[in-house]
Amino acid sequence: MKQNLKIAILMTLATTVLLGILYPLVVTGLAQALFPNEANGQLIYRDGQLIGSKIIGQPFTGPAYLNSRPSAAGNGYDAANSGGTNLGPTNQKLIDRVNADVARWQKENPGQPVPIDLVTTSASGLDPDITPAAAEFQVRRIARQRGLSEEQVREIIRQHTAERQLGFLGEPRVNVLEVNLALDAVSHAPAK
């Protein structure tokens, strides 16, 4: 009995040191050495100031900016409260919110179908991307607000559209933060 207890304690200590300390340090060190940008959250800086992350969404609602999809994470894009609402398709609160969002977007482009990702939240609530259709839906407003041609705005969106991975995984997507930073580089948003 005493021998078994001694072995159990030694194995617990050995696995704790090996798997709880050494392995995480090695993996972290390799990630920092081989993929430092990815290991640190793909942070984006401008003039030495942290602006955001390429992989975590943030709210953009100004008329001169490409707007993000709605977020159900906390008060919106709160990484500490990541997650969906779990509201079902028959939930009246969800129906009312989606109908209000559709009506708001319809004012911008009357008669045009509103892309679904502009009125629905992602599973995590932190999605940094929208569909190319959702980006195209906003081109006219952005061009008008910034004094750019619609083709200039479309070209910026094209430059920041990622295609399917390996040609068949996922869907084409537009990174909202990258597009908005590129728009600011070309034409500063008018102050409100």
Domain identity same for 54 and 103: yes
Token representation of residue 174: 């537009």
This prediction's pTM: 0.79
Residue 161 and residue 182 in contact, taking contact as beta carbons nearer than 8 Å: no
Domain identity same for 101 and 31: no
Q: Is residue 100 in a domain?
A: yes
pLDDT for 167 equals 87
pLDDT for 43 equals 87
CA angle centred on 176, ends 171 and 181, rounded to 5°: 140
Structural domain that includes position 26: 1-40
Domain identity same for 67 and 4: no
pLDDT for 87 equals 82
Domain identity same for 13 and 48: no
Query: Which stretches in the chain have pLDDT values below 70?
Result: 74-76, 189-192
pLDDT for 78 equals 73
Q: Measuring CA to CA, how many Å separate 184 from each of 36, 111, 181? A: 27, 29, 5
pLDDT for 158 equals 96
